[in-house]
Structure 1
Amino acid sequence: MSGRKETGHKRKLYVPARYVFLAIRVLDMFLSSFTEGVMPLAITSMVRTTTTTTSDTTTAANVSLTSSDMCPGSPEVTNNSSSSDSKGGDFDWSELTQSYVSNGPTYGSVLTMMLAARLVLLWSPKLMMAAGGILTVALTALTPALAHWDVRALIAARVLLGIPSGINMPAMFALDSTWFPPNERQQMVGVIFGSLNVASIASSSVTGYLIERFGWEDVFYIFAVMKFVGLCLWIFIIHDSPGKHPRISEEEKNYITSTVKKETEVKLQVPWLQIFLSAPVWAYLSVSISNVWIMFLLSVELPTYLTKMLYYSTTDAGYLVSACNAMAFIVQVSSGFLSQWLRGKGYISQLTSYRIFNAVVTLGSAAAIIGITLSGCDTTAIVVLLLFIKGFQSVIIAGSFLNHMDLAINFVPTLSGINGTVSSIVGIISPTIAAAIINNNQTLTAWKEVFYISAIVSAVPYVIFLIFGSVDEQPWNKVPNKDETLDPEEPQVKSKQSSVSSEDVNKT
C-alpha cells in the first residue's frame, strides 16, 4: 500500500520532459535575443553625432537638409541648439559602417549555416549549440575593448558572432522535430519564438536604461554573464532526443517516439537537385524572405529611425521598441494557438491556414509600411503602424514557418540550413540597402524610398506561395522500397506505443 502511494505521489509531481526541454529552449532563445539585439540600440549612443545648424537648414555631415524634408520637433531645427540627449558618442562611423557593425553576425551565419546543417546529422545538436554559446559569451564580453581598439576588429568579431546563429537554426529545428509531437509542434514553437519578443521587450528597455545610467560598455558585460548562466543550464539539462534522456518516463518516451516518425537523415542521401527544383520549397522560402527582410529592417534600422528622424531619446526609443515586441509576443503566441485550434476543429485545412496567415504577414505588413510613408511626421500614427507591422510579422508562426516539416521531415536540418542561408543573405541585403539610401541623408524622402522597397519585397512572396505553396510530403522525402520506420533510436516501438495518447502522458 505505502509503496503504491509513494509511486502515485511521484507520478503526481512528474513534469513531462518535453516541457522541461521547452522551458530551457525558451530561456536560451531569451538570452540569445539579449546578446544579439543589444548592438542596434547601443550603437545610437556609441556613435558621435556631427550636426551644425542655421535658422533655416540643418547640415549633417556633408549634406544640407531643408527643414521641410525633416520632421518638426528637432532641437536642431526648432531651437538652434543641441538636445541634452544628443551628446557625443565615442566613434565617428558612417551609416554604412554602423550597418556593418550592427549586421555583422548575419555575414557569419551565411558562411556557417549549410555546414552546420550537415554537421548536425553527424554530431550532437545539443553540443553544437553549446559550442556556439561559448563563442557568444566570449565575443560579447570583448565587444567594448574591440570597439575602442579598431572598428575593423569589431566588425570581424561581429561576423564571428554569426557562427552561433548559423549553428543554432538547423540544430534547434533538429531538436524540436525530435522532441515535439506533430499535434503540439506549432504551439510549442510559437511559445519558443514568442520568447524572442519577450526578450526584446526586456532587453530594449533595460539596454536604454543602462546606457543612460552607466554607459554602453556595461550592457555587453552584463548580457555576457547572463548568457553564460543560461549556457550552464543548457549543458546539464538538455538531451538530443527522448531516447537519450535519463529521467524521462516510459509513457512519455513512447508517446513522443510513436508520433515523431522519420528516417535518420544520416542514412539518406540529400536530394539536392530535387530540393532546389521544388516549387513548394521555393514558395516556403519566399515567405521567409518577406518576413526576414522586414524583421531585419526593423531590428537594425528602427532605433536609428526613431532617434534620427522622430527625435526620440535613446531611452524612449528603447521603450518604443519594447512596445513593438510586446505586440509581437502577444500576436505570435495567440496566432499559433488559433491556427492549431482552427485546424483541429476542421474549420480550415492546413494549407488554407497557411495561406490566410501568410496574407497577414506579407500583405498586412506591406499595407502598414505604405501607411507610414503617408503619415508624414505624425508620430502617433507611425508608432501605431510600427506596432501593427511587428504584430503582422509575428503571425508567421501560424503561417508557413514550419512548412519544411510538412514537405520533408527527413531533411529538416538541410531545409533549415537552406532557409537560414537564404534568410541570412536577405538579412544582409535589407539593412545594407537601407543604410546606403540614408547614409548622410536622414530625410523623409530617403526613408520613404526605404519603405517603398520594403513594401514590395513584403507583398510579392504571397503571390508565389498562393500559387505554389503545399503541405504535401514531397516524393523525394520518401525512402524507396522501404517501409516508413519510427525514430531510429527506438526501432522496437510499434503498435503498443501508438496506443499511448497525449492525455495519458499529461496525467502522469
Structure 2
Amino acid sequence: METQMAHTEKRRIKVPVRYVFAGVRVLMVLISSVQGGCMSLAITSMVKSSSSSATNTTNNATQISSDVCPAPLDTDNVTTAKDKGGDFEWSELTQSYITNGPTYGSLCTMMLGAYIAQRLSPKMIIAIVTSVSVLATLLTPVLANWNVYALIVSRILHGLVMGCGMPASGELESSWFPPEERQSLSGIIMSAIHVGSIVSSSLTGVLIEEYGWEFTFYLYGGLCSMSLLLWALFVYDTPQKHPRITEEEKEYIAARINKITDEKLPVPWLQMATSPPVWAYLTMSISITWLAFIFMTELPTYLKRMLHYSTSKAGYITSLAHAATVSSQIVCATVSQWLRRKGYISQLTSYRIFNAIATLGPAATVVAITQVGCDATAIVVLLLMTMLFHGSFISGSMLNHMDLAINFVPALVGLNGTIISVVGILSPTLTAAIINNNQTLTAWSTVFYMSAAVTAVPYVIFFFFGSVEEQSWNKPKTEISKKASKATAQESHRPEKERSVSIDHKVHIP
C-alpha cells in the first residue's frame, strides 16, 4: 500500500515534458539574446569618439547651439577617461551595417527556412543555427581587428543561417503548446529575449569598462555553446517522437492541437498571399518591429552621443527599458487571459485592445520626446514608457498566425520573418542615414516622427481586417477527401436495411 502511494506521489510531481521543452527553450533564447545584444552596446566602445562630429565637439563654441544637447555638469554621467571609445573609425552607416548584418542575411533565407522547417527536423535546424551563432560571436574580435568588411560579411553569413531558426521555432511551439497554454508559454519564451537584453545591457557595459569589449564576445559565445547540450538531451520535434512522454500528456496535446503531423502538406501560397487576415497580422509585425529595431540598435548610441551618458549608464538605462517590456508582458498576458476566461471580451477584442496599447501608446510617447528638448530625465522616462506600452503586444496578435493556419505555421512565420527582416534593415539604416555625422535634436526628431507614423498606421489595418478564425485553406483538400471517403466507406459497410431506413428518415416530410 505504501509502495503504491509513493508511486502515485512520484507521478503527481512529474513535470510534463512540454514544460521541460519550454524551460530549455527559454534558457537557450535568454543566452542567445544576451549574446546577440552585445554588439549594439560594444560598438560604442569599439569606435573612436571622434566619429560623431556633432556631439564630440560640443566644447567648441561654434558647435554649441539649441540643436545640440550640451554635456551635463554632473560628471558622473559623462563619458569617463577609460570610456572614450576604441580604435576604429567607422561612420554611423558602417556601424549600422555591422549591427544589422544578421538581419541582412536572414532576409535572404527566411522563406527557405520556412520550406526546410516543413520538411526537416526543427530541433536539428535550431542546433545548427546556434552552433553557427557561437562561432560567429567568438570570431568577432579577430575579424574586427583584421578588416571591417570581413566583420560585416561574417555578420551577414551568421544571419543567413539565423533565417532558418525562426520558422523552426514556430514549428516546435505549434506542435508542443496547446491553444489554452500557447499564449502564456510562448510569452515566457518571448520574455526571455528581453530578460537577455536586460542582462546584456547591464552587464556588458561593466565588462567592457573593466576587461575590454573583446572579452564580452568570448564570454557570451562560450555560454551559448553550453546551452546546446541541454537542447540535444531534452528537446524533440513532436510529442509523438519523445521517448519519455506519458500517453496521457501525448493524448492531451494531440486532442487540443488541430494539426496534421503525418504528412507533408503543399503550402497554399496564393490563398495565403491574398488573405486579408494574414496581411493584417503581417502589418502589425511591421509596426512592432520598426520601433523595436531602433531601440535595440540605436538606443545606446542615442544615450551616449546625444545625452552624454557613459557606456555603463547607457547600458543600465537600456536594461531598464527591456525590464519595462518584460513587466508589461507579464501583466498584460495575465490580464488578457483573465478577461477572456471570464468571458468579458472575445479573443479578437483582446487582440484589438492590446494591439492598440502596443502601437498607439509608443507612437504618442516618441512624439512627446521631440517636445522636451534636452531634458534627459524626461526623455528617459518617455523611453521607458515606450517600451512599457510596447510589451503589451504579447497579448495582442503576436500568435495570430496559429489561429489562422496551424498546419502552415513555418510558412507564415517565414513570411512574417521576411517582412521583419526588411523592416529590421530599413528602420536602423534610415535612422543611421539621418543621424550620420548629424547628432542633433532636429535629426532625431525626424527619426521619432517617422517611427510614430510607421507604428500607428498598421493598427488601423488590423482593426478592420484582423481575424482569429481558422482559414479555409488551413484544411487541405486531401484531408477533407479522406474524411469524405471514410464516411462513404462506413456507409457502404452498413446493412442495406439500415441504409434505407436512414435515407427514408432524411427525406421524410411530416
Say yes or no: TM over 0.5. yes
**Residue 117 in 1 paired to residue 78 in 2?**
no
- Post-superposition shift, 1:256? 0.8
Contact 1:51 1:58 in 2 (8 A): no
Cα offsets for 1:62-95 (capped at 9, x unmatched): xx744321113258xx9xx985255241200000
| 2:502 alignment counterpart | none
Contact 2:107 2:422 in 1 (8 A): yes
- Post-superposition shift, 1:483? 4.7
**Residue 221 in 1 paired to residue 223 in 2?**
no
| 1:490 alignment counterpart | none
- Post-superposition shift, 1:237? 1.1
Return the letter of the residue paired with 1:4: Q
**Residue 239 in 1 paired to residue 205 in 2?**
no
Return the letter of the residue paired with 1:97: T
Structure 1 residues 258, 355: closer, same or farther in 2, change over 3 A?
same
Return the letter of the residue paired with 1:430: S
Structure 1 CA distance, aligned partners of 2:349 and 2:423? 27
Contact 1:26 1:192 in 2 (8 A): yes
| 1:131 alignment counterpart | 128
Report percent identity of matched pairs: 55
Structure 1 CA distance, aligned partners of 2:79 and 2:114? 50
- Post-superposition shift, 1:271? 1.2
Structure 1 CA distance, aligned partners of 2:267 and 2:59? 56
| 1:252 alignment counterpart | 249
| 1:10 alignment counterpart | 10
- Post-superposition shift, 1:232? 1.2
Structure 2 CA distance, aligned partners of 1:481 and 1:126? 27
Q: What TM-score do the two structures reach when normalised by structure 1? A: 0.90
1:357-372 aligned within 5 A = 357-372=354-369
Structure 2 CA distance, aligned partners of 1:306 and 1:368? 17
**Residue 356 in 1 paired to residue 353 in 2?**
yes
Runs of 4+, deviation exceeding 6 Å: 51-54
| 2:93 alignment counterpart | 96
In our comparison, the structure showing a higher alpha carbon Rg is 2
1:50-199 aligned within 5 A = 50=50, 58=58, 65-73=63-71, 84=81, 86-199=83-196
Structure 2 CA distance, aligned partners of 1:402 and 1:237? 25
| 1:24 alignment counterpart | 24
Contact 2:183 2:333 in 1 (8 A): yes
- Match of 1:243, SS state, is helix
Contact 1:263 1:485 in 2 (8 A): no
**Residue 36 in 1 paired to residue 33 in 2?**
no
Cα offsets for 1:467-488 (capped at 9, x unmatched): 11111111211223745999xx
**Residue 347 in 1 paired to residue 341 in 2?**
no
Unaligned runs of 5+ in 2: 484-510
Structure 1 residues 70, 302: closer, same or farther in 2, change over 3 A?
same
Structure 1 CA distance, aligned partners of 2:311 and 2:119? 45
- Match of 2:477, SS state, is coil
The range that moved more, 267-276 or 103-112, is 267-276
Structure 2 CA distance, aligned partners of 1:52 and 1:28? 36
- Match of 1:67, SS state, is coil
- Post-superposition shift, 1:234? 0.7
Alignment equivalent of 2:428, drawn from 428, 431, 456? 431
Return the letter of the residue paired with 1:34: V
Contact 1:53 1:59 in 2 (8 A): no
Return the letter of the residue paired with 2:65: S
1:298-317 aligned within 5 A = 298-317=295-314
Cα offsets for 1:254-281 (capped at 9, x unmatched): 1111111112495322111111111111
Return the letter of the residue paired with 2:136: L
| 1:392 alignment counterpart | 389
- Post-superposition shift, 1:450? 0.6
Structure 1 residues 59, 440: closer, same or farther in 2, change over 3 A?
farther
Contact 1:434 1:450 in 2 (8 A): yes
Cα offsets for 1:396-420 (capped at 9, x unmatched): 1100000111111111110000000
Alignment equivalent of 1:403, drawn from 400, 404, 426? 400
Return the letter of the residue paired with 2:422: I
| 1:321 alignment counterpart | 318
- Match of 1:375, SS state, is coil
- Post-superposition shift, 1:236? 1.3
Cα offsets for 1:222-258 (capped at 9, x unmatched): 0011001111111111111111111112211111111
Structure 1 CA distance, aligned partners of 2:292 and 2:263? 33
Return the letter of the residue paired with 1:324: A
Cα offsets for 1:310-354 (capped at 9, x unmatched): 000000000001111111111112212221221111110111111
Note the aligned Cα RMSD (angstroms): 2.4
Return the letter of the residue paired with 2:175: T
Cα offsets for 1:353-392 (capped at 9, x unmatched): 1110010111111001101111111111111111111111
Return the letter of the residue paired with 2:338: W
Structure 1 residues 315, 418: closer, same or farther in 2, change over 3 A?
same
Contact 1:52 1:58 in 2 (8 A): no
The range that moved more, 472-481 or 110-119, is 472-481
Structure 1 residues 438, 53: closer, same or farther in 2, change over 3 A?
closer
- Post-superposition shift, 1:58? 3.5
